[in-house]
Amino acid sequence: MFAHIQAAPADPILGLNDAYKNETNPNKINLGVGVYKDEQGNTPILQSVKQAEERLLTEELTKSYLSIEGTDNYRQSVQTLLFGENHPIINKKLAHTAHTPGGTGALRVAAEFIKKHLPEATIWVSNPTWANHQAIFQSVGLEVGSYAYYDASSKSLDFESLLASLSQIPEGDIVLFHGCCHNPTGIDPTKEQWQQLAKLCGKQGFLPLFDFAYQGFGVGLEEDAQGLRTFAEQVPEMLIASSFSKNFGLYNERVGALTIVCETADNADAAFTQIKRAARTNYSNPPAHGAAIVAEILSNKALRSLWEMELQSMRTRIHEMRGLFVSTLRSKGVEQDFSFISKQQGMFSFSGLNPEQVSQLRKQFGIYIVGSGRINVAGMTHENMDPLCSAIAEILT
């Protein structure tokens, strides 16, 4: 029964990580998978997380199942992070949130919910987008299309083409936006551009689905939510897939959430029962530990301010690495202009390196970058910057 099965190709990003582990070059550098690294190249457990875990360890009374949607405390905390304190959506109970295993779990539940209740809808993703988006939606049988986003020649947002693309999307389809820190380009719409996009969404009648995996990695917790909050003012319905893998460093705890916003509280109640059904037939109920940490941190003043400081220091370090990367390349005599990298947000940049150059970096120097040229800026440190930039200078000249 199994003998005919062909091996699946390695995941373009996680497969790269496996290859990196087997790399024998002692000076190897990993700028592939999207994981934050500190100055020592480690992915540390945040202090706020450690302290929350200590409390949970002494206070936890049971390992019994959570409900399908997770705990109320966690779900409310997620909504406050998304919309801000006392937002009308929260006060009028227009949104419901389910705790899901990571942002991927949220996207998967969203996909199943969409397939069942809006089966004719096509889901539109930016070109380019996170490598897993297409696969998640296609795996439930949804049609996936792409809209214009990035201008490779100017290394910036092609806003005119983006508007033109979205103007073609019919009522009833779904458009996925990256809430902030667009993966892989690191380029987000400005405040004014978000306003235009939200207005267009209202006019065209498509449903926005926000993938919000990097809140706090761009400018700040509030600022990074500006896109989805702008939409929330203009359109009555939306879906939001949150991930807390990066901003709490809880990668392997699988903490995420799917939030649905409806026009009325009754609609939200009814639709949420269907989201719970999708979760029940998928993983039944979510893993407790990571979400309990998030809820503990967000509901405790001291832990929350410690977390915000830690988040800020991750954000600042990445930003510093962006600037250092650009100036070090320049100091190595690279004439190509890389200054766009210091203007981008979040962990990633589209470097503009082509697949051949990416492959050369890997073979000659043990430097691992995703084939598309996406680099994880958080993998750079003061120590690896010099060899990294020397290698890039060598392949570019």
Catalytic-residue membership of 130: yes
Please, what is the Cα angle at 242 between 236 and 243, to 5 degrees? 175
Applying CB under 6 A, does 256 fall inside the site for ligand PLP? yes
**DSSP assignment string, 272-334:** HHHHHHHHHTTTSS--HHHHHHHHHHHHSHHHHHHHHHHHHHHHHHHHHHHHHHHHHHHHTT-
* Locus of tokens 């049988």: 141
Helix (H, G, I), strand (E, B) or coil at 151: strand
> Which of 20, 124, 130, 150 forms a contact with ligand PLP (CB under 6 A)?
130
Among 158, 173, 188, 211, the one annotated catalytic: 211
What whole-number distance in Å separates Cα of residue 270 and Cα of residue 237?
14
Closest contact distance (angstroms) between CB of 33 and ligand PLP is: 8
179 or 366: CB nearest ligand PLP: 179
Which among 1-9, 102-110, 230-238, 378-386 is the span making contact with ligand PLP, rule CB under 6 A? 102-110
| Token pair in block for residue 325 | 């990367």
Closest contact distance (angstroms) between CB of 198 and ligand PLP is: 20
Applying CB under 6 A, does 103 fall inside the site for ligand PLP? yes
Catalytic-residue membership of 224: no
Among 124, 158, 173, 246, the one annotated catalytic: 246
Q: What is the dihedral of CA 50, 51, 57, 62, to 10 degrees?
A: -90
Among 124, 130, 194, 307, the one annotated catalytic: 130
Contacts (Cβ under 8 Å, ≥6 apart) of 131: 11, 12, 13, 370
184 or 366: CB nearest ligand PLP: 184
213 or 318: CB nearest ligand PLP: 213
**How many C-beta atoms lie closer than 10 Å to residue 277's C-beta?**
15
Catalytic-residue membership of 188: no
Applying CB under 6 A, does 249 fall inside the site for ligand PLP? no
> Which of 32, 70, 102, 373 forms a contact with ligand PLP (CB under 6 A)?
102
Position 303, amino acid:
L
Applying CB under 6 A, does 104 fall inside the site for ligand PLP? yes
Position 22, amino acid:
N
Closest contact distance (angstroms) between CB of 45 and ligand PLP is: 16
Applying CB under 6 A, does 243 fall inside the site for ligand PLP? yes
Q: Under the rule (CB under 6 A), what is the footprint of ligand PLP?
A: 34, 102-104, 130, 178, 183, 211, 213, 243, 245, 256
Query: What amino acid positions are annotated as catalytic residues?
Result: 130, 211, 246
